[in-house]
Structure 1
Amino acid sequence: MQVTGKITRGSLMTLEAYSKYRKENKAAIMAHRQLRSVHLGEHINVQFESETSIRYQIQEMLRLEKIFEAEAIDQEIEAYAPLVPEGSNWKATMLIEYPDVNERKRELARLIGVEDHLFVEVEGHARVYAIADEDMDRENDEKTSAVHFVRFELDAAMCAAVKAGANVKLGCDHTNYPAHVSIPAESLASLASDLR
């Protein structure tokens, strides 16, 4: 899977080519996704996206839905390409995970607004709170969604600090889900490669 800096119809593989590629490279793609997955407490998983992970997602959707028409391919690109980081930010899928259905329902009601309390903190810099769900609102008066799309905008000094090896915390200061974790060094090295 070629990383080009911009996902276009022409830069995607045909269904046949992707089928072959997938067999040979699925383990590597899964390892990449795992490396960029950071658990915040017991029930929140933040999957930091990259061009590689989003290309994989688009190719998987095309494969599963057997999409080969230009307009439908463009719709998949439109849906997912905004999740590719742009050099001064990190973009992520935030998953709220409760295996038990009743517990999940109860907790999603208690966690309304949690996505707006998610932050990253580069060592020596102020917290940067997530800009969440820019495509659509994912909560109502009764509950929040189990999936949110978030973006963290970093200034030039923060980007430089991350690239120079500064530690970064991922956290949440929601009343009902206070948590923070240092992003592991291997994951942070991958995230640093997203920054210019």
Structure 2
Amino acid sequence: MQLTGQVTADSLMSLEAYSKWRKAHQGEVIAHRKLRTVHLGEHLTVQFESELSIRYQVQEMLRIEKIFEEEGIAQEVEAYAPLVPDGRNWKATMLLEYPDISERKRELGRLIGVEDRMFVEVEGHERVHAVADEDLDRENDEKTSAVHFLRFEFTPGMAQAVKAGAAVKLGCDHRNYPAHVAIAPETLASLAGDLR
């Protein structure tokens, strides 16, 4: 899988080529995704996306759905390509995970707005809250969604600090889910590669 800087229909592999590539490289992609996953408390997981993770996601959707026509490929690219970081930000998928259905329903009702209360804090800089769900509104008056898409925008100084090794916290300051965690050095090293 060749990284090109952006996911486009022309840069994707054919279903046949991807099938061969997948057999040899799926473990590497899974390890990459695991490295870029941060757990915040017991029920909230943030998966920081990259060109590799999104390219893999698109190729997987094409494989699973057996999509090979231009229109279908274009729709998948249009859905996922905006999740690739652009050098000034980190983009992530946020998951609220409650195995028990009753608990999930109750907690999603208590966590309305949680996606807007997610933040990153680079050592020595102001906290930056996420821009959430730019594709569509994922909550209503009764509950929030279990899946949200986040974008954390960095100033040049923040990006430079991250690349120089500054510590970074990921957190949530929602009243019903206050939590924060230091992003592990190996995860931070991967994420620093997303910034120019």
Separation (CA, whole Å) in 2 of partners of 1:142 and 1:10: 42
Q: Does 1:86 align with 2:74?
A: no
TM-score, scaled to structure 2: 0.99
Q: Does 1:99 align with 2:74?
A: no
Shift of 1:130: 0.3
**What is the aligned partner in structure 1 of residue 185 from structure 2?**
185
Q: Does 1:77 align with 2:77?
A: yes
Map 1:40-189 to 2 at 5 A.
40-189=40-189
Deviation string 1:19-65 (CA, Å, 9 cap, x unpaired) is 01111111100000000000011100000000000000000000000
Say how many residue pairs are matched: 196
SS at match of 1:137: coil
Separation (CA, whole Å) in 1 of partners of 2:3 and 2:181: 30
- Show structure 1 runs of 5+ residues with no match: none
SS at match of 1:77: helix
- Show structure 2 runs of 5+ residues with no match: none
Shift of 1:85: 0.1
Root-mean-square deviation (Å): 0.4
SS at match of 1:108: helix
What amino acid does structure 1 have at the position aligned with 2:45? N
Deviation string 1:75-101 (CA, Å, 9 cap, x unpaired) is 100000000000000000000001111
**What is the aligned partner in structure 2 of residue 15 from structure 1?**
15
Shift of 1:73: 0.3
Deviation string 1:100-158 (CA, Å, 9 cap, x unpaired) is 11100100000000000000000000000000000000000000000000000000000
What amino acid does structure 1 have at the position aligned with 2:78? E
Separation (CA, whole Å) in 2 of partners of 1:49 and 1:6: 13
Give me the identity figure in percent: 74
**What is the aligned partner in structure 1 of residue 195 from structure 2?**
195
Shift of 1:178: 0.2
SS at match of 2:143: coil
What amino acid does structure 2 have at the position aligned with 1:157? G
SS at match of 1:18: helix
